[in-house]
């Protein structure tokens, strides 16, 4: 299990019963903006939410490497190596 102080998520995951309440019980702060049509808008840390787009962009670039996206590697160790290699190439560009 991964322990975290905060969870960043998109508006799709803003449901109270499914996400917010369960994370609050575990002592985790939710950084999820509310949908526009929600009756009671919730506050979130906008400064903490900003880097989320960088993570999404990284995964989008990682999907461009076909071998890692389709998981051609047979073992988890080789797959992780392919992810590392693609990550280094993304970082260098």
**Is 78 strand, coil or helix?**
helix
**pLDDT in the model for residue 39:** 83
DSSP sequence for 29-65: EEE-PPPTT-SS-----HHHHTTHHHHHHHHHHHTTS
Same domain, 37 and 71: no
pLDDT along the chain (93 residues), means of 10: 80 78 86 84 86 88 78 80 89 88
- Same domain flag for 61 and 83: yes
Are residues 16 and 60 both part of a single domain? no
3-state secondary structure of 16: helix
My answer on whether 9 and 44 are in the same domain is yes
List Cβ neighbours of 7 (8 Å cut-off, separation of 6 or more). Answer: 19, 23, 28, 29, 30, 31, 32
Domain containing 92 equals 51-93
Last residue of a domain, one of 49, 64, 79: 49
Specify the pLDDT at position 1: 67
Co-location of 39 and 64 in the same domain: no
One domain, residues 70 and 60: yes
């Amino acid at each position: 299990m991964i322990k975290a102080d905060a969870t960043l998520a998109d508006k799709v995951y803003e449901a109270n019963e499914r996400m917010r309440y369960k994370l609050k019980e575990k002592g985790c702060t939710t950084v999820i903006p509310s949908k526009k049509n929600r009756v009671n808008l919730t506050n979130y840390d906008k400064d903490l939410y900003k880097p989320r787009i960088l993570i999404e962009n990284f995964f989008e670039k990682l999907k461009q490497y076909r071998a890692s996206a389709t998981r051609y590697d047979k073992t988890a160790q080789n797959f992780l190596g392919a992810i590392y290699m693609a990550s280094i190439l993304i970082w260098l560009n």
